[in-house]
Every structure is written in C-alpha cells, then in structure tokens.
Amino acid sequence: MEIAFYIAGAVAIVATLMVITRHNPVHALLYLNVSLLAHAMLFYLLGASFAALLEIIIYAGAIMVLFIFVVMLLNLGKETAEQERKWLKLKVWAGPTMLAAILFAEFLALVLSSRQSTYSPAVVSPREVAVSLFREYLIGVELAAMLLMAAVVGAAHIGRHKKLVLHRFLKEEKEREEEKQEEMVL
C-alpha cells in the first residue's frame, strides 16, 4: 500500500505542475481535476475514506464542473493561450520559483530530520467523522452553517426578480387587455 501512496503522491505533484504550465485554461482545469482525484486517493490510503469521497463529490464533481462551466462561457480562444504563453517566460517565474524552492528545501530538511514514521494509516469511519463534527467541532459546524445560510440568502437576494419581465408579444397582449378592461369600466 505504501507504493500506491507514493504513486498517487507523484501523480498529484505532476498534475499540479501541469496545471501551472498549461496555456489552455480548460486543459489546466482538467489537470487540476486529476490532481484532486490523486488527493482523494491519498486521503483514502491514509484511512480517511469519508474525506476522500467528499473530495471527489464536492471538489472534483461539483466545484471543478462550475469552474469549467465558467471557462466554457468565457469563450477563451487562441489569444488567451498566446497571452498565457507570454506570461510564462523565464523572467517572470524564475524569482517566485527560487523563493519557493528555498522554502521547499527547508521543509524537506525539517521532514527528514524529524525521523517519524511517515506512513501510518488509521482507518476513520464516517461515524467517527460525524461524532467528532457534532461534538468537538460543533461550534465550527454551526459557524459554517451560518456562513452558508448568509450565502444562500445573498444568492436568493441577487437572483430575485424585481419586476415581471414579459416578452414583447405578451406585453402587447397585456396592454390590449388592459385597454379593453378600461373600456369596459367606462
């Protein structure tokens, strides 16, 4: 199982690198998706099967679809890819990469010096997740629920139709009917 863990980890890293270097946004998003699936695999191998499947359902299955949805609607063509290519010059990414590499080396040194057992899966069942959510982290759950409620109310407010919008044919029909009614009153 340790081999599977390292394979999934490698896939995640490679896919994430591809996300950064792709010029076409949809390709980048697809690699991001692969990366998320690899993460789900890692979670599963670490024993958190519930978290793994939630990662797939929510991140890979819903949020990424919405991302692709939006990108699809933007109608990004060859020009965007060209622009992206221009931005991805050595001059632009060399500085941040150097700094990140220093941090990574530091992190690697820390991990290697800690000498703890690196891979020790302990299976966490959905029941345990639920119990810990509604016992130890109850306040967090409640706060998140409130936040989501606020978001839902906000979305409902934005999506509210202020007035009835009619098609022009229907509008004419309505006007005619109103005129008729006025005549009837007179």
Using CA atoms, how far apart are residues 186 and 175, in angstroms rounded to an integer?
Answer: 17
Nearest to 122 by CA among 60, 46, 11: 46
Which residues here bind other proteins, judged by CB under 8 A? 24, 26-27, 30, 33, 49-50, 53-54, 56-57, 60-62, 65-66, 68-69, 72-73, 125-126
Q: At what angle do helices 138-158 and 126-135 cross, to 10 degrees?
A: 90
CB nearer to other proteins: give 16 or 24: 24
CB nearer to other proteins: give 14 or 93: 14
CB nearer to other proteins: give 5 or 76: 76
Using CA atoms, how far apart are residues 9 and 111, in angstroms rounded to an integer?
Answer: 16
CB nearer to other proteins: give 45 or 60: 60
Query: From the CB of 51, what's the least distance to other proteins, in Å?
Result: 10
Query: From the CB of 2, what's the least distance to other proteins, in Å?
Result: 19
Query: From the CB of 6, what's the least distance to other proteins, in Å?
Result: 22
Angstrom distances, CA of residue 67 to CA of 38, 42, 73, 159 = 19, 23, 10, 20
